[in-house]
Amino acid sequence: MEDQKASGDMIPIILKDGSVYETTEGASWRDVASGLSRRLGKEALVAKVDGKLEDLDKKASPEEKVEFCTFADEEGQAVYRHTSSHLLAQAVKRLYPEAKLAIGPAIADGFYYDFDTEHSFTTEDLALIEEEMKKIKKADYPVVRQELTHEEAIALFEEKGEPYKVELIKDLPADEQVSIYKQGEFTDLCLGPHLPSTGKIGVFKLLSVAGAYWKGSEKNKMLQRIYGTSFPKKKDIDAYLQRMEEAKRRDHRKLGQELELFGVSDEGPGFPFFYPKGMTIRLELEGFWRSEHQKAGYQEIKSPVILSRSLWERSGHWDHYKENMYFLKIDDDDYAIKPMNCPGAMIYYNNRVHSYREFPMRIAELGLVHRHERSGVLHGLMRVRCFTQDDAHIFMLPEQITDEIIGVIDMIDHFYRTFGFTYRVELSTKPEKAMGSDEIWDTAINALEKALEVKEIPYKLNEGDGAFYGPKIDFHLQDSLGRSWQCGTIQLDFVNPESFDLTYISDDGSKKRPVMIHRVIFGSIERFLGILTEHYGGAFPIWLAPVQVKVLTVASRHTEYAADLAHKLEKEGIRIEVDDRNERVGYKIREGEVQKVPFLLVLGDQEVESQTVSVRKRSVGDQGAFTLQEFIDNVKEEISQKT
């Protein structure tokens, strides 16, 4: 510290823990990181200054609070991969100078860049581009930020022949500075921040090419999107690529066909079909859902799929959600197919007068909804145009809010743990387009925060990402491959009770408005089933498995015994199939394993004579001989415990 003081004036920097660190005036954030520790100086990727990300080469300012993000942080990964996308774009421009640049952001686990070029990128091209990226990395070009006026930036990219960049600049306020980043001969329009140099990127891999409309609109030109990923170390990217291969093997669309669970027809894109085995799983999910909701004091309703325009205007969907809805006319009046179940619950509520003594009133619905999705984003069961939401709406008194939110949190936790998921939580606040006053929103946000604090649940704050009628808590579950899926949500709503004129008679006889919670746990039955299919790799736990036990005969003389066993298993409520085909038993066993049946019962002369069953358990193998009753007791125990 004395050496620093001798070289110039010192300025105070506030660290994450509130302590003060002094550095030389004119030092960069990278200097500050290196001064704190040699390791941090090496691993820091970006500075987070008063909550805003800044380049490490930016000059440090006194009295500002700073923390440094490494690759272990989401912000650090985003900056790392954003710089990787610039590396990709520079390589493409070197190899294909006529290619026009569009956008290139970081995404979960990777990055992409969109290009407009007559050349159709192939797998062989990706290998060439990777080699060029390695050269740029080796050159270790400094990544330098510059700021230009609006006019200067337009002139620069017009000169470079980059029409998409010019269009983006023209969308920006004319009186604001425009930031660009340079590395070697390459220049890109970008808000930043970025890594200090191209050599900071460790290892990268280009993964695939896909089509993408400019600005996501089907009215615009189709561009070519190159996807890639990057990591600091080779072992990390190898592990990621291995997970990607496993994800392909577990793809629910592939398994859905192989296991005869579900599918999507050309005659109904985005509208999934459930086959008998898929319906078995679906009915088990719905049965579990109903049972748990009945225990928790919910009452189930069913609301119509088609409702009038006036209803959707009152709910706010006509103004805030119209582009996602389907419409039709009935007797010259406008109607819409419901995209959400909420208005139906409020119509039910208004069916009669309510007393404060009835609260909390918990109303549940497995409601079919339809939402317009562009064809390019449809994806098996994960992104569809019709789906069944496991909705519930809770009407309550203001003083009951915290307890009800805690009750929903506990239920969501129970559901996810039953399926073997861990999860993380995010709290989203008032969006730009919202209904209701700031005062109402502040009250709602404070109530959600209080519930999370009572449960001691850590959460990430998403400013401005709430629903248009209220803030929300989102639950992101993690599957067996480490992927994150947003499923459960709790939305606190003071607005719709006003819009729908919901009232109750209070203890003093006056009319007051209830508070309302919207919540789902699965999110949608369809998507959750798709997630489960990939989470389990098609090997569903026995309580969900479409076929729980398969009986295999060694020879035709064992068929009568097999039929008798099947009858007894069916009487016990166990889902059973018999394979008495004239095939080798080894072939039947392999086929049963491919079909991922939890238990295979092999019946030969010895089993018939001793009146036993030879049991093979999925992923375990031969379990030996059991009496039928022993086997039934074991299976029913596993089913009841949902193991």
Strands 599-603, 549-553: pairing is parallel
Can you spell out the DSSP letters for 571-623?
HTT--EEEE--SS-HHHHHHHHHHTT-SEEEEE-HHHHHHTEEEEEETTTEEE
Q: What pLDDT sits at residue 605?
A: 97
DSSP for residue 122: -
The pLDDT of residue 283 is above 70:
yes
Q: Please give the model's pTM, rounded to 2 decimal places.
A: 0.83
Q: Judging by DSSP bridges, how do beta strands 273-274 and 576-579 pair with one another?
A: unpaired
- State which H helix or E strand residue 299 sits in: strand 298-300
Burial readout 187-215 (b: 16 or more C-beta within 10 A, e: otherwise) = bbbbebbbbbbbebbbbbbbbebeebbbb
What is the residue-averaged pLDDT of the chain? 94
What is the torsional sign of CA 134, 136, 141, 146? negative
SS3 86: helix
The pLDDT tens digits of the residues spanning 570-627 come to 999 999 999 999 999 999 999 999 999 999 999 999 999 999 999 999 999 999 999 9
Beta bridge partners of 24: 10
Range in 131-135, 257-261, 412-416, 427-431 the model is least confident about: 427-431
- Give the bridge partners for 369, in sequence order: 387
pLDDT, mean of residues 428-439: 86
**Gap between the Cα atoms of 89 and 104, Å rounded:** 8
CA R_g for the chain: 30
181, two tokens: 């980043």
φ, ψ (nearest 5 deg) of residue 500: -100, 5
pLDDT, tens digit (0-9, with 9 covering 90-100), for 544-553: 999 999 999 9
Q: Which residues are catalytic?
A: 342, 371, 389, 391, 393, 472, 518
Rounded percentage of the chain residues whose pLDDT exceeds 70: 99
Determine the pLDDT at residue 315.
84
Helix, strand, coil % (nearest 5) of the chain? 40, 30, 30
pLDDT (0 to 100) of residue 8: 58
Picking from 64, 72, 58, 66, the residue whose alpha carbon sits closest to that of residue 26 is 58
Contact 495, 469 (CB under 8 A): yes
Gap between the Cα atoms of 40 and 67, Å rounded: 11
Largest separation between any pair of C-alpha atoms in the chain: 98
pLDDT confidence bin for 385, thresholds 50/70/90: very high
Domains of the chain: 2-70 (3.10.20.30), 77-248 (3.30.980.10), 274-304+341-535 (3.30.930.10), 549-641 (3.40.50.800)
Instruction: Report the distance separating Cα 148 and Cα 153, nearest Å.
Output: 6
Element (H, E) at 225: strand 222-231
User: Binning pLDDT at 50, 70 and 90, where does residue 443 land?
Assistant: confident
Distances (CA, A) of 265 to 268, 270, 272, 279, 414: 5, 9, 7, 17, 35
pLDDT of residue 237: 97
pLDDT in tens, 183-195: 999 999 999 999 9
Characterize 288-300 residue by residue with b for buried, 16 or more Cβ atoms within 10 angstroms of its Cβ, and e for exposed.
Answer: bbeeebeeeebee
- How far, in Å, CA of 16 to CA of 118, rounded? 49
Whether the CB-CB separation of 223 and 212 falls below 8 Å is answered with yes
